[in-house]
Amino acid sequence: MSSSSTSPVSNYIHGNAPEEQHRLSLLNDLLNEPLLRELKLNGGERILDVGSGLGQFSRAMARASGKSASVIGIERDQDQLSQARQLAEADAETELVEFRQGDALDLPLQNNEWQSFDITHTRFLLEHVQEPIRIVSQMKAATRPGGRVVLADDDHGGFQLWPEPLGFPTLWQAYIRAYQRLGNDPFVGRKLVSLLHCAGLTQVRNATVFFGGCAGNDAFDLVMGNLLGVFGGARQEMLDNKSLDQNSFDDAMEALVRWGDDPTTAMWYSLCYAEGFVPLG
Ligand SMILES: C[S@@+](CC[C@H](N)C(=O)[O-])C[C@H]1O[C@@H](n2cnc3c(N)ncnc32)[C@H](O)[C@@H]1O
């Protein structure tokens, strides 16, 4: 399987290799609880999770929303879907979420499912598509009047490491360029409010969810594992764009691993979060 899954308007840089699925799981361990706090579910919601990946957050929302919740996860990639189903089975949670194959740009909903969801959520998907407004518009159309559309995504402009590891700026720029080369948007996080507004959502609010850490913290190993995994998974795309060669890549990665063992290290980063309501009438 190649390291990226592509269509003309939706190019997923990270792919679905087992190491990448492991990284995605680490990321869920880090972010699901703080994101649920931001989401403030009332209980019993009907939820659509768009680009649900391995389904861990879809299931976390279902658990948090309680027995009368109903959650559907939409995922384009068959390997991600089958892994999501296996993980749910291993946790005896197959009843919690219906995982459905389909494209976020053309949601696979029945006629009676449009305008029916209390919450339509997506995380880490809009950065991987060329026209995120098309997905947000589909999400709005799936949500009932008075329901919420929730977007959570990266903005690679706000990433800071201190002390800065040798070769890191070049590595980071090559990663950003690899996104851009695929036609995707590494800076979509800052645009979430604008996307909601343009799609016709109201009462929009924004927030950030801390996604960093420092040496000595319990979660720092997870944060480091995610960072190294991100570069490892996108390595070929980063080399293809010719802004760094293989030796520079390997040297910068070694420096990053050493940096992770330094007791003074800190990583500053936040996930961008925005939500808006579908107008009532
Ligand atoms: C980084 S993962 C995030 C998964 C999940 N939302 C999470 O936060 O754990 C992005 C997922 O979106 C899926 N994806 C990418 N483009 C898609 C599209 N056009 N429609 C549906 N899923 C898509 C990928 O296959 C991948 O599983």
82 occurs within a structural domain: yes
Q: Residue 164: which residues within 8 A CB-CB, separation 6 or more?
A: none
- Among 121, 98, 116, 111, smallest CA distance to 50 is for 121
Average pLDDT over residues 172-181: 92
pLDDT tens across 150-161, in order?
999 999 998 999
138 occurs within a structural domain: yes
5 occurs within a structural domain: no
**Domain enclosing residue 173, as ranges:** 18-277
Distance from the alpha carbon of residue 240 to the mean position of ligand 1, in angstroms: 23
249 lines ligand 1 (CB under 6 A): no
In one-letter notation, the amino acid at residue 198 is C
Count how many domains the chain has. Answer: 1
The model's confidence at residue 126, banded by pLDDT at 50, 70 and 90, is very high
Q: Which residue has the least CA distance to atom 10 on ligand 1?
A: 125
> Which of 93-102, 166-175, 195-204, 212-221 is predicted least confidently?
212-221
Distance from the alpha carbon of residue 260 to the mean position of ligand 1, in angstroms: 28
Between CA 168 and CA 70 the distance in angstroms is: 44
Average pLDDT over residues 116-129: 97
Q: Which residue has the least CA distance to atom 15 on ligand 1?
A: 12
Distance from the alpha carbon of residue 128 to the mean position of ligand 1, in angstroms: 8
11 occurs within a structural domain: no
Ligand 1 probe mutation, 128, 154, 188, 226, most atoms within 8 A of CB: 128
Between CA 116 and CA 135 the distance in angstroms is: 17
pLDDT tens across 181-210, in order?
888 999 999 999 999 999 999 999 999 999
6 occurs within a structural domain: no
Distance from the alpha carbon of residue 216 to the mean position of ligand 1, in angstroms: 32
Distance from the alpha carbon of residue 4 to the mean position of ligand 1, in angstroms: 12
Q: Is the pLDDT of residue 250 over 60?
A: yes
275 lines ligand 1 (CB under 6 A): no
132 lines ligand 1 (CB under 6 A): no
The model's confidence at residue 242, banded by pLDDT at 50, 70 and 90, is confident
| Residue 39 pLDDT | 97
Would you say 263 and 216 are in contact if contact means Cβ atoms under 8 Å apart? Answer: yes
Burial 59-86 (b: 16+ CB within 10 A, else e): bbbbbbbeeebbbbbbbbbeebbebbbe
3 occurs within a structural domain: no
Of 13 and 96, the structure prediction assigns the larger pLDDT to 96
Task: Cite the DSSP H helix spans in 55-129.
Answer: 56-65, 78-90
Q: Which residue has the least CA distance to atom 25 on ligand 1?
A: 77
pLDDT tens across 60-107, in order?
999 999 999 999 999 999 999 999 999 999 999 999 999 999 999 999
| Residue 10 pLDDT | 62
12 occurs within a structural domain: no
Distance from the alpha carbon of residue 257 to the mean position of ligand 1, in angstroms: 28
Q: Where residue 92 sits, what CATH number does that domain have?
A: 3.40.50.150
Residue 27 CA: nearest ligand 1 atom is 9
| Residue 29 pLDDT | 83
User: Is this prediction's pTM over 0.95?
Assistant: no
| Residue 219 pLDDT | 85
24 lines ligand 1 (CB under 6 A): yes
Q: Residue 132: which residues within 8 A CB-CB, separation 6 or more?
A: 126, 185, 188, 191, 195
137 occurs within a structural domain: yes
